[in-house]
């Protein structure tokens, strides 16, 4: 297996113990992984909460798959069209390695869609739209981790299966 590029760094999820998650969270992780490979609809999971990052690592460990943590700073470019090329490379690399993609701090990413005031806003919205399209087309699992109280527009909520860590009672 080749090493991930600069846009995705291997998180080495398999080497970390499960002890960081409470039993309730581990039970939810196991329920997610039990259905992850059988999913035909949404393969994008939005994990929110204080234990979401640890849950993402546990999901990769349970599925015995590499976890590529996406470096958004390396993906986004000022050059028009370059961000889309970086996104394409990222997804191609994940597919070639049968790896799970992890977008940490997804609230910053998903909150970037804005009202168009100038050309920069327009291209930023196009890039986010392109990323969301690639997530939907991707054949493998994509995990997005966000802060505990992320509020998404309804249009975005339909694109993801949303899980909270710790789970609500």
pLDDT in tens, 107-137: 777 765 555 555 555 566 778 888 889 998 8
Positive or negative, the CA dihedral 68, 139, 91, 32 is negative
pLDDT of residue 12: 47
Residue that wins the pLDDT comparison between 148 and 71: 71
Q: Which two tokens stand for residue 84?
A: 């889309």
pLDDT of residue 5: 59
Q: Which two tokens stand for residue 10?
A: 């291997």
Partners of 97 in the β-ladder: none
What is the tens place of the pLDDT at every residue in 7-17?
666 554 444 54
- Burial classification of residue 139, based on how many CB atoms lie within 10 Å of its CB (0-12 exposed, 13-18 middle, 19 or more buried): exposed
Secondary structure E strands in the chain:
8-10, 44-48, 67-70, 100-103, 142-146, 161-164
What is the tens place of the pLDDT at every residue in 52-81?
999 999 999 999 999 999 988 888 887 878
pLDDT of residue 19: 46
pLDDT of residue 117: 59
What is the tens place of the pLDDT at every residue in 3-50?
455 566 655 444 454 447 889 999 999 999 988 766 555 589 999 988
**pTM recorded for the entire structure:** 0.80
């Amino acid at each position: 297996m080749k090493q991930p590029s600069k846009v995705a760094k291997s998180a080495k999820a398999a080497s970390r113990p499960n002890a960081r998650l409470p039993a309730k969270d581990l039970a939810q992780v196991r329920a997610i992984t039990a259905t992850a490979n059988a999913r035909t609809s949404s393969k994008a999971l939005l994990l929110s909460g204080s234990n979401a990052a640890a849950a993402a690592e546990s999901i990769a460990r349970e599925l015995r798959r590499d976890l590529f943590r996406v470096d958004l700073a390396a993906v986004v470019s000022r050059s028009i069209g370059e961000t889309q090329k970086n996104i394409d490379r990222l997804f191609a690399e994940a597919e070639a390695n049968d790896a799970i993609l992890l977008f940490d701090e997804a609230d910053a990413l998903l909150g970037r869609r804005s009202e168009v005031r100038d050309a920069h806003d327009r291209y930023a919205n196009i890039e986010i739209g392109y990323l969301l399209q690639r997530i939907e087309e991707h054949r493998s699992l994509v995990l997005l981790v966000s802060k505990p109280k992320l509020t998404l527009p309804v249009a975005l909520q339909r694109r993801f299966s949303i899980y909270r860590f710790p789970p609500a009672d």
